[in-house]
Structure 1
């Protein structure tokens, strides 16, 4: 990667830009003086460190460290984007890049193809889940991290590259030549049916076109007989504000307020209303939310709730009620800066953390319940600000047992699914696929010589008890009891593989299905074992219960 030298003059130029930006705001004369004084101190300090520090310093890295630390003191979302990272940032906002269309990752010390996306070069050229990446255009990548490999795979559309992979069951490495294409990451990676009348739409991002994708998916599902819809926003990190408006517009009519933004620069305060006729204002809707549904995903969830347009099922959302804008800086870099808080139609802001009100040690806490205010939905239901969006029906996700989490983290379920794929020609429909008791026992036998371990919460509690007992000099009094507890609760792999067979089997089936049907197969195979999804289906099936939730005021 080509690095640019930063001279003192460049640092000074950047600081001058910061001064110029600061002067755009009406502030007291004392504030002007403090800004100028501190920027001058920073510039001279940087010069002295660069000149006299005992070892050579990298001016680029030194300045970036200072900038990053300064911005981190504000909030996690205000960031400096250097020129080298602009393309990645553009990919995040547009969902587009030049590449092969595959998710890669490191598994057991190997760089693997985790998911080739259907219709893109990786899949079309024959790359498979579980292929180990050895070389890219002759460059050995076995010891490189995934971000470096990703950069090698990306490039201008229509350019060729050669990938060398090691495949399960094949002795010699395989060379695959393919052509990069313009890759557009789907905001809606999957839509389909979860029963005869209930359609399902998974919305994973809010990049350009999200609203159109949701609308198209809804229309297709309705044409195929969908009478009710589940919109899955779980783990959706958000994205473009206007796409939150567009997705909301799928379900609510033209001219309705979706979100308003309010910040220090009053000229930037704005109210965003829906601009088009809705796709469907009547179809019953259940929205799935999780603790990692954030930002634009929370706007859509909040709009659906505030207008009583649908029922929210799942967990309280993350609580990110802050809006960012990008500002151009010198040398083709950018600043992503928090400019406002957003407010949904009921008037509430769902920001969970007040970053401007820090404790003396610099730590931050969430908004206290005593400071939260009540608001009302269209039907008069009580809702609250200051901590994310509360679901109408709370359903916790399935918590994995320690042994299951260990098998996933160690890549053992991943590896076995790959082996299963090459030993079985087909599995039938993904939604109906199950492994037999005999096949599960074969998996258990395969694990017998594999390295994996885990610690249960009970074991951790006993370890903590032992530690405190020794510190407080009670250990000799209770040592015998602690040892008895250890023998009774210390995990037994063989026993745990039996006790948690159902959940391990579910995860394994979903992973195996992905080998045959890629992302769609993984999603469909998980439907029956998803408690939040099943709760949403049940709510939609019970028309009376659905209406009661939307009509009943919260106490």
Structure 2
């Protein structure tokens, strides 16, 4: 994607030196995709001709074009446009972008905490990162970032590097966003305070009752498996007999962390996932190999349209081996494997080299046409419009892609993992008034002020006593509404009443986080999830399904038909 031209364009010597480095990615890709590339055949000849032609054109532009040009910029733009002709997940990052992207999984950073994608020169929020300012403010998946600190963030010139530069900054500094949201005319303004974005990937781990444990995993980073083992061990010491593993909104990450997690729940040496590519060097089978910490006991996995890639590996393996009951909605369908290839100048090519398949043989990847990323990126919107989020009857299976689990249960391929128990998205309490409260941080700021003003009384409570007995009073709601009015949010009584149960729960959850959660050193947000899960229709349905999960573990499949 085109970047802004610097005031002092790069001169010939640097461009000439850098050109062979960047263009060598064509040959590097060839080396990765097969040894036959260098057998003297047509593929090598075509690539060499293409390299020569591109170099010739670029040098002619550099030396003869009427105006000064930034050759590095032209090369980067050309690479981006070339890769658009491939699959939706092959990507190129310049050195700055590559460093920032890796930090999402490998180290912390200061910013507002979102995962984003750029489609058609528009920045879309994939998911707000757990524990970050964006999540607390109510930024949602699918939101469009239109302006940052009054600088337009859409149209030609939008790049990953530009987004990182605008959103990241010194901890404690303010960043103002103007966000577009489906169904909201005119957009929404947010004022966020940058913070250290936590690297923790296990968001919650607590006992629901004396037997049921709950673990929420938000992504698969370099520390996920260790965090998961620690959480699982803690729950086992507390009497764990039944497990809910929540992978909703988990965009994926490192495959080996996902398979290691699945191995803790699956016995023997069963197949967990396999990959298949054009080159057999990228074909790989991963099997269970250890005595896991929880190989016996019913398991329920929560999934939705935000569960992708590594999340789908875990869900698919557990479903195919009849080890877990899946509850929720169809997963994203990202089953293409990218190899990160660091280029000589620090930039990075993430090249798709193979596909993921579940143990039964299902491809995780949803359909796509090469070069038609726009259509691919509209898939989640199409699901919404077709009613898939709200009715299982709206989901159409490809009857030619039928597979069987170990217990001969019928499952379907064709993109994503379909849960065993469908639960619709609950929008019954949504309203414009609620979104405006989120957008302007009214609930968060009120909860923080409430904790500061009532710390003496809160200090006398245990969190369990708070969870069992604390009520958000009418006086608290009145004060919150007054805060909203001062911020320019007009009260709509009908919308307030519609959203009130969720406003009460959000307020209580944040009071719990600010009073007890910020004293934690383990990165868990148990206080929030223990409050909000009481309002979560998918979680509540899961609690009702342990009979089926127990039958599944015993090999009794009649209750699942």
Q: In the alignment, is the contact (CA less than 8 A) between 1:406 and 1:452 conserved in 2?
A: yes
Give the Cα separation in 1 of the matches to 2:75 and 2:51: 13
Q: Which range moved further: 329-338 or 368-377? A: 368-377
Shift of 1:151: 5.9
Could you state the TM-score of these two structures normalised by the residue count of structure 2? 0.72
Q: What is the deviation of 1:314?
A: 1.0
Q: Partners of 1:444 and 1:187 in 2: how far apart?
A: 34
From 377, 382, 386, the equivalent of 2:414 is 386
Q: Is the 8 A contact 1:307 1:377 kept in 2?
A: yes
Matched, 1:431 2:442: no
Q: 1:527 aligns with which of 513, 530, 533?
A: 533
**1:510 to 2:509 alignment:** yes
- After superposition, residues 367-516 of structure 1 pair within 5 angstroms as 369-370=397-398, 372-399=400-427, 400-425=430-455, 427=458, 428=461, 429=463, 431-432=467-468, 433-452=470-489, 493-516=492-515
Q: Indicate if the aligned counterparts of 1:210 and 1:246 stay in contact, CA closer than 8 A.
A: no
- Does the CA-based 8 Å contact 1:353-1:364 persist in structure 2? no
Is it true that 1:271 corresponds to 2:279 in the alignment? no
Larger relative contact order (Cα-Cα within 8 Å, sequence gap ≥ 6)? 2
Check whether the contact 2:86–2:370 (CA below 8 A) recurs between aligned residues. Answer: yes
TM superposition shift of 1:341: 0.4
Matched, 1:18 2:26: yes
Match of 1:322 among 332, 336, 352: 336
Deviation at 1:116, TM superposition (A): 11
Q: Residue 313 of structure 1 contacts residue 393 of structure 1 at CA under 8 Å; is this kept in 2?
A: yes
> Could you say if the C-alpha distance between residues 252 and 164 of structure 1 is closer, same or farther in structure 2, counting changes exceeding 3 Å?
closer
Structure 1 residue 350, shift from structure 2 partner = 1.7
CA distance in 1, matches of 2:69, 2:511: 50
Q: Structure 1 residues 31 and 330, CA, compared in 2 at 3 Å: closer, same or farther?
A: same
Is contact 2:404-2:411 (8 Å) kept? yes
Query: Using a 3 Å threshold, how does the CA distance of structure 1 residues 549 and 422 change in structure 2: closer, same or farther?
Result: farther
Whole-angstrom distance in 1 between the partners of 2:173 and 2:355: 48
Post-superposition CA distance 1:451-481 (Å, at most 9, x none): 247xxxxxxxxxxxxxxxxxxxxxxxxxxxx
Match for residue 171 of structure 1? none
SS, match of residue 448 in structure 1: helix
Whether contact under 8 Å (2:93, 2:348) holds in the other structure is yes
For residues 250-283 of structure 1, give each alpha carbon's deviation from its aligned partner in whole angstroms, at most 9, with x where no partner exists: 1012421101110011122111112211112111
Partner of 1:38: 50
5+ residue gaps, structure 2: 1-5, 115-127, 138-147, 152-161, 176-194, 380-394, 519-524
> Is 2:100–2:164's contact at 8 Å kept on the other side of the alignment?
no
Q: CA deviation at 1:29?
A: 4.2
Output the CA distance in 2 between the equivalents of 1:79 and 1:364: 15
**Is the 1:313–1:536 Cα contact (8 Å) retained in structure 2?**
yes
Structure 1 residues 387 and 431: CA distance shift in structure 2, 3 A: farther
Secondary structure of 1:523's counterpart equals: helix
Deviations 1:526-550 (A, max 9, x none): 1211111111122226776766996
Note the 1:336-351 alignment, pairs <5 A: 336-351=350-365
Quick one: distance in 1 between partners of 2:396 and 2:372?
A: 13
SS in 1 for 2:202: coil
CA–CA distance in 2 between the matches of 1:310 and 1:30? 49
* Cα pair distance change 1:220/1:266, threshold 3 Å: same
SS in 2 for 1:218: helix
How many positions carry a matched residue from both structures?
464
Counterpart among 514, 536, 543 of residue 537 in structure 1: 543
Q: Please, which of 313, 319, 333 is the counterpart of residue 305 of structure 1?
A: 319
- Deviation of 1:505 after TM superposition, in Å, equals 2.1
Which residue does 2:145 correspond to in 1?
none
- CA distance in structure 1 between the partners assigned to 2:234 and 2:533 by the alignment: 20
Contact map agreement 2:88 2:370 (CA 8 A) in 1:
no
Distance 1:337 1:542, change over 3 A: closer
CA change 1:49–1:515 in 2 (3 A) is farther
Q: Give a deviation string over 1:284-340, Cα, whole Å, max 9, x none.
A: 111111111001100100111111111111111101111111223222332111110
Q: Work out whether residues 311 and 549 of structure 1, in 8 Å CA contact, stay in contact via their aligned partners in 2.
A: no
In the alignment, the residues of structure 2 paired with residue 220 and residue 332 of structure 1 have an alpha-carbon distance, to the nearest angstrom, of: 41
Equivalent of 2:347 in 322, 326, 333: 333
Deviation at 1:393, TM superposition (A): 0.9
Q: Is the 8 A contact 1:372 1:386 kept in 2?
A: no
5 Å-filtered alignment, 1:97-136, equals: 97=108
Change (3 A) 1:364 1:416: closer
Aligned twin of 1:486: none
Partner of 2:215: 201
Please say if 1:70 is aligned against 2:82.
yes
1:242 matched residue in structure 2: 256
Greater CA drift, 545-554 or 190-199: 545-554
Residues 539 and 546 in structure 1, CA contact (< 8 A), matched pair in contact too: no
Distance 1:334 1:146 in 2: 18
Maintained 8 Å contact 1:375/1:384: yes
Q: Which residue is 1:60 aligned to? A: 72
Could you tell me whether the CA contact under 8 Å between 1:192 and 1:199 is conserved in 2? Answer: yes
Deviation, 1:60, is 2.4
The 1:164–1:242 alpha-carbon spacing in structure 2 relative to 1, beyond 3 Å, is closer
Q: TM-score, normalised by structure 1?
A: 0.73
Q: Which residue of the other structure, out of 107, 116, 129, is the alignment partner of 1:96? A: 107
**What secondary structure sits across from 1:339 in the alignment?**
strand
Residues 5-51 of structure 1 show CA distances to partners (whole Å, capped at 9, x for unaligned) of 74134213432452354265436844434323333332222233334
Report how far residue 385 of structure 1 moved.
0.6
